Chain A
Amino acid sequence: MEETFDVAIVGAGPAGISAACLLAEKGVKTIVLERGEYPGAKNISGGVLYGHDLARIIPDYEGKNCPIERNIIEARLWFLSRDGGYSLAYRDRIFTGAKKFNSFTVGRAKFDRWFAEQARAKGALVVCGTVVTDLLRDIHQRVEGVRTDRADGDIRAKVILLADGINSPLAAKTGFRPEPKPHQVALAVKEVVELSEGVIQERFNVGPGNGVTTEILGQATQGMNGVAVIYTNRKSLSLCIGANLSDLARYKIRPYELMESFKEHPMVAPLIAGGKPTEYMAHWIAEGGYEAIPQLCGDGFLIAGDSAMLFNTLHREGSNLAMTSGRLAAEAILEALKNGDFSRNGLQGYISRLQNSYILKDLKKYRNFGRFLETHPELFTSLPEWASQAAREMITVNGVSKKVKQKIIWNQLRKEIPLLRLLRILWGGWRSVK
């Protein structure tokens, strides 16, 4: 099927499809190659998408039956110890009004399929069940096409957009970006637990169509650098838990057992009681931050989304970065097509656009955050345990004076973490996010 396209896109995820929509709209001959049986078949995220970034691609996504699970009206943050934990929540009327769909949950198997349909409707060719196994280069090493696992499956294009996600054997093989090191990714497992709509609304105190996100730090990851989340879908909950891959290897904790003990935590168990697990998946999360971002374009190619390691660890944002980087890549490609220059120089517009967008500004701002988590294991061990003990002590009524209780708490803290170390954690934490 050797055929020439203007643009070949590897991967029908949010980055690739965003670019495909905008390119096809402008009449650019675009092909998207997806290895799954259908777009979304291989994709997973916690499940939150952001209306702002999607609207830049499909302004009327709501009217076009975007498969939204629940509009998020409340964000919760938990800090867990082994047996208890703190909860902080923020809810606002604005998220059912003017800022409706600021964020919403989706199941990626449904959403990505819908999103790819939009690209098809605009004229892009989306081909599924096709693995890109290599890049084709000319004698000057300029990328000029892709090789697929289909018979006669070479496809030539003026520009290749690599949007094949974080796990990329193609990257490992061709070196378009370095293979991540174990400490640069978190391995997360996800379980979808089915519950009735009414039960979810009751348990999370929301009305029909509305939902809650819960981000969970502390000991849920059993001392490893990681997080867990619980997101509400229409008729299910998404439970995810993940930890730095090098920690998982070192601690010898099995991800599925980690998930099971998370599900038994006293703050989690009542939320999922009576629920029926319906799917179990695993995926990496890019945790390398700003330093791990590869060279974003070269002669004949660009890299977007997870493939470019664009992920904001602190705010758990990734799918929006994928969509917007895909959009910016499309803009740069349009420029290159106009000028007929597909060299690294001709595609540079992509980099300046990323630099001027929130994407690289945010990742640069938090460039030290990952390192901060990595080097302060107390955040996942003694600190949550101590914080829980403190609350337990102050809440328990047992005839002991509050002054004595405060002393007990303080002594416990001094025993667990030296004062200087505690100050370092506070100072380092603030500096890594300021």
Chain B
Amino acid sequence: MSMKVEDKLFLDRFRVEGESHLRIVDGSLCGRECPDQPCLYFCPANVYRLEKDRISVAYEGCLECGSCRIACPHLNIEWRFPLGGYGISHKFG
């Protein structure tokens, strides 16, 4: 049986920062000028989800790969590392 991404993320150890380290700079641009919305697909943690007419950012499960920062067609995502010691901590690596 195929494993869902939520169940995969549940295996990981996160220390979640109060504030998101990811931010869509201009939310209206996603609906207006980005028909493909590739972030909904390539993000390995399904951080970006379509909710009605906008894209929500579930930064809590971010695996910190950086893909959305460079592969957003409009470079519309502001990206920093979580604060020192926050975010994912690999157990095996």
Mark A residues whose CB is within 8 Å of B. Answer: 35-38, 40-45, 47, 107-112, 128-131, 133, 148-150, 166-167, 169, 172, 179-182, 185, 187, 189, 191-192, 233, 236, 245-246, 248-250, 252-257, 260, 264, 277-284
**Do A130 and B84 touch across chains, with their CB atoms under 8 A apart?**
yes
**Do A42 and B92 touch across chains, with their CB atoms under 8 A apart?**
no
A40, A42, A189, A249: the one contacting B41 at CB < 8 Å is: A249
> Contacts A128-B85, A169-B80; is A42 near B8 (CB within 8 Å)?
no
Known pairs A37-B89, A41-B88, A283-B65. 9 more at Cβ < 8 A? A42-B90, A179-B69, A249-B38, A250-B38, A253-B41, A264-B2, A279-B12, A280-B9, A281-B90
Please name all residues of chain A whose beta carbon is closer than 8 Å to the beta carbon of B89 when the two chains form the complex: 36-38, 41-42, 109
**Do A277 and B85 touch across chains, with their CB atoms under 8 A apart?**
no
B15, B44, B64: the one contacting A42 at CB < 8 Å is: B64
**Do B42 and A281 touch across chains, with their CB atoms under 8 A apart?**
no
- By CB atoms of chain A within 10 A, which of B9, B67, B83 has the most? B67
A-B contact pairs, 20 of them (CB 8 A): A35-B85, A36-B85, A37-B15, A108-B93, A109-B89, A128-B85, A129-B85, A166-B66, A169-B66, A179-B69, A187-B42, A245-B67, A248-B38, A249-B38, A254-B5, A255-B43, A256-B5, A281-B63, A282-B44, A282-B65
How extensive is the interface on chain B, given as a class?
35 or more
Render B24-42 as a binary contact track against A, CB cut-off 8 A, 1 for contact.
0000000000001010011
Classify the interface of chain A: helix, strand, loop or mixed: mixed
**Do B8 and A245 touch across chains, with their CB atoms under 8 A apart?**
no
CA distance A233 to B92 in the complex (A): 10
Asked if B52 lies at the interface with its beta carbon under 8 angstroms from chain A, I say no
**Do B93 and A256 touch across chains, with their CB atoms under 8 A apart?**
no
CA distance A248 to B2 in the complex (A): 20
A75 to chain B, nearest CB (A): 22
Please name all residues of chain B whose beta carbon is closer than 8 Å to the beta carbon of A187 when the two chains form the complex: 42, 44, 65, 67
A109 to chain B, nearest CB (A): 4
CA distance A259 to B55 in the complex (A): 24
B41, B45, B63, B84: the one contacting A131 at CB < 8 Å is: B84
